Amino acid sequence: MAIVLGLAAALWGIGLAMGFPRSYRFAMIATLLAGVIALHLILPDGHPIRQNTGGEPELWIFVVAAGFFTYGYAFLLSALRVRSKPAACESDQSSEDQGPFSDTELTRYARHIVLREIGGAGQKALKDASVLVIGAGGLGAPALQYLAAAGVGTIGVIDDDVVDNSNLQRQVIHTDASIGMAKVQSAAKAMNALNPFVTVKPYQRRLTPEIAADLVAEYDLVLDGTDNFDTRYLVNEACVMARKPLISAALTQWEGQISEYASHAGTPCYQCIFPERPDPSLVPSCAQGGVLGPLPGVLGSMMAVEAVKTLTGAGEGLRGRLLIYDALYGETRIITVKPRPDCPICD
């Protein structure tokens, strides 16, 4: 056995002296061991060569197998290390500037990226998207928070109101320290603190017919969380004209509803479903009739869910369906809705 080991050491030294790559030197030793195994298999038991080279072929077969296993494992580790290193950049840009996401963003959005229905392409779609949220109150608060957390690239929010102490029971994006601050500024501050990788555009003013069309046209998707029919009709008309999908929700006391309206895609618009303002006694305001604190969170989160689905193409949205949620009795109903032939907005 000592003879074979000595020959192996000599071959390694010769290869090293002649500058052979390590793989060549391993190949030389493997050839030597293969020859020894062959002699052991050919020569009869008790032959002097077999006696001086270990006696049995099983020993050298084990040595060769162990060597191949060790070499293969080392090669695999080396390959993995090479693949794990960032690719060399021809410019002076850092790896953070390469590709659509920084390393921090990849970690932040990992739970989205591993979702089959979203994946990397869907998360890139969210980053490239722009969403306008009308209202930074009960419905807008959770919708804005989750849109920012989800990585929607540009989020606009328009509201002319200021934070009041009575808002804090349900408008969770605002804090006690924000009382007296404009809601859009308070919301923008919270969203930037949550996710500095998104762009927030606050519009501290009321949505009016003079600006609605141009503002809506700047965004890919609109979320309406307002609490009055005049603004809802205005938003709906602007979305129909701009051919933009609209996700609208509303609530009162213990009940809420939500749907997505996209008349350009063959679904009804908001005014198809609600052609006339209901009697005010049937839909009291939050101040008049009260509202369950977590209810806007439920509906606002649903708005964010539907927004992510619309922007990424995941699942089936609420186009052509009106979802009604009754929190008091824990019931959810879905009503199929169709365009109204005599609708003055989308007909």
Choose among 248, 253, 254: nearest CA to 272: 248
Residues forming CATH 3.40.50.720 domain(s) in the chain: 116-336
Q: What are phi and psi of 187, to 5 degrees?
A: -65, -45
Dihedral sign (CA 65, 66, 69, 74) = negative
pLDDT value of position 55: 63
Q: Is 288 exposed, middle or buried (0-12, 13-18, 19+ CB in 10 A)?
A: exposed
Output the pTM of the full model: 0.71
Q: Cα(113)–Cα(117) distance, rounded to whole angstroms?
A: 9
Give the pLDDT of residue 85. 43
DSSP letter at 159 equals -
- What kind and span of H or E run contains 184? helix 183-194
Question: Digits of tens for pLDDT over the chain (347 positions)?
Answer: 566 666 666 755 675 666 656 665 666 666 766 666 666 667 676 666 656 666 666 666 766 666 666 666 655 555 545 444 444 334 444 444 457 889 999 999 999 999 999 999 999 999 999 999 999 999 999 999 999 999 999 999 999 999 999 999 999 999 999 999 999 999 999 999 999 999 999 999 999 999 999 999 999 999 999 989 999 999 999 999 999 999 999 999 999 999 999 999 999 999 999 998 877 766 777 777 789 999 999 999 999 999 999 999 999 999 999 999 999 999 999 999 999 999 999 87
**Cα 91 from chain centroid?**
29
Q: 258 to each of 116, 181, 237, how far by Cα in Å? A: 26, 29, 18
Residue matched to tokens 């618009």: 269
Scanning the structure block, which residue is given the tokens 């609420």?
318
Strand partners, 256: 251, 325
Which amino acid is present at 340? R
Instruction: Find out whether 25 and 12 touch, Cβ atoms under 8 Å.
Output: yes
Contacts 24+ apart (CB under 8 A), 105-112: 105/151, 105/197, 108/151, 108/195, 108/197, 109/150, 109/151, 112/150, 112/151
Under CATH, which architecture does the 116-336 domain have?
3-Layer(aba) Sandwich (3.40)
Q: How far apart are CA 112 and CA 120, in angstroms?
A: 8
Pairing state between β 255-261 and 321-326: antiparallel
What does the block give as tokens for 69?
């296993």
Helix (H, G, I), strand (E, B) or coil at 48: helix
Per the CB < 8 A criterion, the answer to whether 276 and 252 are in contact is no
